[in-house]
A and B are shown apart, each in its own frame.
Chain A
Amino acid sequence: MKEFNFPEIFQNKLRLEIVSCLISGEKSFRDIKDLTNASDGNISAQISKLKKENVVSVKKEFINNKPKTTYTLTDSGLNEFENYVSLLQSILESETK
């Protein structure tokens, strides 16, 4: 049976969850926390990794003198995610053949 290579960036479940929740638009740290139920430290670590790999971009702004950070999926991040979904599909299709 053919062996598929899973991209390293999506091998972590939390990273995959973060990217999936950014598909519907930009999210704040709290939004991501609400959606993933992960700890602050864990989310920060995975976001740093995603940022380093240029999958996620960070926007920092001040709203009513309060800092607010929002995260968005970059174009290359979206491409990588789409490629990963295609890969998952082909894995499942290879099983049905």
Chain B
Amino acid sequence: MNQINEALEDIQLIKRTVQKSQSDISDFHLIFLVLGIGNIIYYLCSFLIFKMIGINGHIMMWLSLFNRAYYIGALVLFFCILKKQANVYKRKIFLLLGTGLFFIPILFFLIQILMNFFDATRISDTALLLIEQRGTINVILFCGILLLIGFEKDLSKFLPISVFIIISYIIIGVLNGDILHWDIVLKTNLNDSNMTIPIKSMFELLINTIGYLFLGLYLKKGKELKQSERI
């Protein structure tokens, strides 16, 4: 009986340790949900405020602060997940993911802050181009994140999705002439004047909102399935 108890104890210890050392990329679901939901609220509020009040510097500043707040929240979550991760290889993958998710938005944020301090004529063309192409960079970034998650989860699912996103994005750009400087496609009436929202921007907006939201929900579902299998 003593040996059986010991065997049971050891099996539980092995199971617990192996599970603990194998926390996977699904833990990131919360970060993607925070970014997806945060972006939805941010874009929706920006649109409604612009439609009802027009451009209001004070409100826009608060909205911008809200935008920074959920990014900081997601960054804190990222470090908590990174701290828990004990596997050296996975920690490197997580770091790569975090760099993509947070380094580029922080870089844009810093460029924007610096731009506020300097005269427009003194700002380099590179900085202006970076800000101008922010949406394109975000789409490429999202596809990179999809591929990285694909390597960890299931590349056969994630590779076609990211290829599809990139191809759709290129087609949308090409159909509208210049891919980098794309023109009016969709017109809505805002503040008694025509406002143009290019489909390219709508595509970028969908990636930043629904894209991250779906990614978060997919990983969450995967994690729940894995946990139920363990039980």
Interface, chain A (partner B; CB < 8 A): 3-4, 6, 10, 13, 16-17, 20-21, 23-28, 31-32, 34-36, 70, 84-85, 87-88, 91-92, 95
Q: Is the CB of B18 within 8 A of A91?
A: no
Q: Is the CB of B18 within 8 A of A20?
A: yes
For the residues of A in contact with B, the DSSP-based class is helix
Residues of A within 8 A of B14 (CB): 16, 20, 85
For the residues of B in contact with A, the DSSP-based class is helix
B74-104 interface mask toward A, CB cutoff 8 Å, 1 = contact, 0 = none?
A: 0000000000101111000000000000000
Size range of the interface on B? Answer: 10 to 19
Residues of A within 8 A of B21 (CB): 20-21, 23-24, 27, 31, 35
Among the stretches B2-10, B60-68, B111-119, B147-155, the one at the interface with A is B2-10
Say yes or no for B189: interface residue by CB 8 A criterion.
Answer: no
Interface, chain B (partner A; CB < 8 A): 3-4, 6-8, 10-11, 13-14, 17-18, 20-22, 84, 86-89
Residues of A within 8 A of B11 (CB): 85, 88, 92
